[in-house]
């Protein structure tokens, strides 16, 4: 997590996915207002789209940031509660900058501030640095009273977003199938958008946790199998074609098959990639997704580009390489024909399109993919990551390693990736193998190693 304490020394404020913190602790109203002033100074006297997820602290942070922006002459278009990709699509469509108040899948005590460029993607790091410098130097452009920005709404933003998604799929074919879909929004920002999209696609929709609850009391926001027990149990015997779950700001979507099996986000990514690639297509994914995507790209004669972990980086690499498809193993899929950011609702439409056009059940499509498994764990980070790396390397009987982002070690029957999270004080551990049991064993083995090193004096 980024420490927001003011300091005369330059210190990054934006993390890998915007600013995150605990409201009234490190993410204070005073800070939010000043960062709003800095963002407004950087954006200039322009219209800025703003939105938020369902968190209870969203209004407080929203109003502070909006006040800062308006004091520097920005006019706010308040889009209210909506998924982050819906706000990004609005920014792309109108060619305007944006700010979204969200902490994505983080626990409800967190909130965050994320800046969107006028092409709809997350702001580049160098532009975030310019905002940070304005903030530290207090070089705010405070305008005279007659130029202070105003605030208005735009009720067309939802239709704009849904129409954009529908333009990329075969609506008639999907409607013919009359799919039964169970949706779990986890009380997040997709609570009205995904059910609305599914109804437009002629689906029979049953909703779970599709009401706003800023404390996420129904389930934890991260769409992992252990947090989706209600959805999974309702899918078993519910006679549904597909189950869908989103994270808090709905840039991610994960799926449950018609039998009630959780589908790993890595497999969804592979499925979508396989369906869209042609020889020469460029595909972008971080080092955390499985080797299945290498096989799929190899078979389809597509070019695969691996990046460090982080959705904004995948988006930017896609733009720089004119790649039309990319994404992460966590259910974040970026479909460049639509927009260059993760989009949970777009992913839902793409999967239904595949089911409708191909005429196969989701479980059949998944079982036809190269079989690789990823087991993910999180360990609390108590020590500096860099001090642990040499000890892990000396422990591992590794053939080769990749230190571009954390530490990825290649073993005879799989790989292990260990990296400190950019948004939380944890170390993520990924074990990957063709064998599900082995993937789990690898993750557990290195989790235990990291725990031991953090307890022992050898890590110092």
Q: Does 447 bind Mg ion (CB under 5 A)?
A: no
By CB under 5 A, tell whether 104 contacts Mg ion. yes
Is the Cβ of residue 175 or residue 308 nearer to Mg ion in the bound state?
308
Using the rule CB under 5 A, give the single segment among 244-252, 307-315, 384-392, 440-448 that binds Mg ion: 244-252
Are the beta carbons of 186 and 216 closer than 8 angstroms? yes
Helix (H, G, I), strand (E, B) or coil at 327: strand
Minimum CB separation from Mg ion for residue 226, in Å? 18
432 part of the interface to Mg ion, by CB under 5 A: no
- Give CA–CA dist 450/357, Å, rounded: 46
Q: Which is nearer to Mg ion, 74 or 307 (CB)?
A: 307
* By the rule CB under 5 A, 122 interacts with Mg ion: no
Q: Which is nearer to Mg ion, 1 or 302 (CB)?
A: 1
- 104 classed as catalytic: yes
Contact at 8 Å (CB) between 306 and 286? yes
Could you tell me the smallest distance in angstroms from the CB atom of residue 204 to Mg ion? 27
Q: Is 118 a binder of Mg ion (CB under 5 A)?
A: no
Instruction: Tell me the window of 97-105, 129-137, 230-238, 285-293 that interacts with Mg ion (CB under 5 A).
Output: 97-105
Q: Which is nearer to Mg ion, 247 or 264 (CB)?
A: 247
Task: Candidates 46-54, 241-249, 403-411, 452-460: pick the segment binding Mg ion (CB under 5 A).
Answer: 241-249
Which tokens belong to 312? 């904004």
DSSP per-residue codes, 146-215: GG---EEE-TTHHHHHHHHHHTTS-HHHHHHHT-EEEEE-TTSTTTTHHHHHHHHTT-EEEEES-S--TT
Provide, rounded to whole angstroms, the least separation between the CB of residue 231 and Mg ion. Answer: 17
Segment near Mg ion (CB under 5 A); pick from 35-43, 231-239, 240-248, 438-446: 240-248
Instruction: Collapse the DSSP code of 411 into the 3-class scheme (helix H, G, I; strand E, B; otherwise coil) and give the result.
Output: strand
Residue 446 and residue 312: Cα distance in Å, rounded?
28
Could you list the beta-strand ranges (E) of 211-369: 242-246, 253-256, 262-263, 282-286, 303-307, 325-327, 333-335
Catalytic choice (72, 104, 190, 288)? 104
- Maximum distance among all alpha carbons in the chain? 68
Task: Work out whether 251 is an interface residue with Mg ion (CB under 5 A).
Answer: yes
347 contacts Mg ion (rule: CB under 5 A): no
Contact 392, 454 (CB under 8 A): no
Q: Which residues contact 374 (CB under 8 A, 6 or more apart)?
A: 264, 266, 288, 289, 290, 329, 430, 431, 432, 439
User: 117 near 97, Cβ under 8 Å?
Assistant: yes
Under the criterion CB under 5 A, does residue 328 sit at the interface with Mg ion? no
Q: Does 53 interact with Mg ion (rule: CB under 5 A)?
A: no
Count of Cβ atoms closer than 10 Å to residue 394 Cβ: 7
From candidates 53, 184, 247, 424, binder to Mg ion by CB under 5 A: 247
Question: Nearer Cβ to Mg ion, position 104 or 353?
Answer: 104
Q: Smallest gap, in angstroms, from Cβ of residue 252 to Mg ion?
A: 5
**Using CA atoms, how far apart are residues 432 and 425, in angstroms rounded to an integer?**
23
Contact residues for Mg ion, defined by CB under 5 A: 104, 247, 249, 251
Residues designated catalytic: 104
């Amino acid at each position: 997590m980024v420490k927001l304490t003011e300091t005369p020394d330059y210190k990054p404020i934006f993390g890998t996915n915007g600013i995150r913190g605990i409201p009234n602790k490190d993410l204070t109203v005073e800070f939010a207002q000043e960062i709003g002033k800095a963002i407004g100074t950087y954006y200039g006297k322009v219209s800025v789209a703003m939105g938020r997820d369902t968190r209870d602290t969203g209004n407080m942070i929203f109003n502070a940031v909006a006040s800062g922006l308006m004091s520097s002459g920005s006019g706010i278009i308040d889009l209210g509660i909506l998924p982050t990709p819906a706000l990004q699509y609005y920014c792309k469509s109108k060619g305007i900058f944006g700010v979204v108040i969200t902490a994505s899948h983080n626990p409800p005590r967190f909130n965050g501030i994320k800046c969107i460029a006028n092409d709809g993607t997350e702001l580049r790091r160098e532009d975030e640095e310019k905002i940070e410098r304005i903030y530290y130097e207090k070089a705010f452009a405070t305008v005279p009273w007659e130029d202070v920005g105003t605030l208005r709404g735009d009720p067309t933003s939802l239709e704009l977003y849904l129409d954009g998604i529908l333009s990329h799929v075969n609506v008639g074919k999907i409607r013919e199938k009359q799919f039964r879909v169970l949706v779990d929004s986890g009380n997040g920002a997709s609570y009205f958008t995904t059910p609305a999209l599914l109804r437009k696609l002629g689906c029979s929709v049953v909703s779970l946790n599709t009401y706003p609850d800023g404390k996420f009391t129904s389930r934890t926001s991260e769409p992992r199998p252990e947090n989706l027990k209600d959805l999974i149990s309702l899918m078993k015997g519910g006679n549904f074609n597909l189950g869908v779950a989103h994270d808090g700001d709905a840039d991610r979507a994960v799926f449950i098959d018609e039998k009630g099996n959780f589908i790993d986000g890595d497999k969804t990514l592979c499925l979508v990639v396989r369906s869209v690639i042609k020889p020469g297509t460029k595909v972008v994914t971080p080092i955390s997704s499985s080797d299945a995507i290498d096989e799929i790209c190899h078979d389809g004669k597509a070019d695969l580009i691996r990046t460090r972990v982080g959705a904004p980086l995948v988006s930017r690499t896609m733009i720089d390489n004119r790649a039309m498809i990319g994404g992460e193993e966590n259910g974040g899929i970026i479909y460049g024909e639509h927009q260059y950011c993760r989009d949970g609702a777009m992913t839902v439409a793409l999967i239904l399109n595949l089911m409708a056009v191909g005429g196969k059940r989701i479980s059949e499509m998944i079982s036809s993919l190269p079989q690789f498994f990823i087991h993910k764990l999180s360990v609390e980070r108590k020590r500096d990551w860099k001090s642990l790396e040499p000890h892990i390397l000396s422990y591992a009987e590794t053939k080769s390693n990749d230190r571009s982002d954390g530490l990825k070690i290649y073993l005879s029957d799989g790989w292990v990736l260990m990296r400190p999270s950019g948004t939380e004080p944890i170390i993520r551990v990924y074990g990957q193998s063709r064998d599900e049991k082995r993937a789990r064993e690898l993750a557990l083995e290195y989790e235990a190693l990291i725990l031991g090193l953090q307890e022992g004096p050898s890590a110092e």
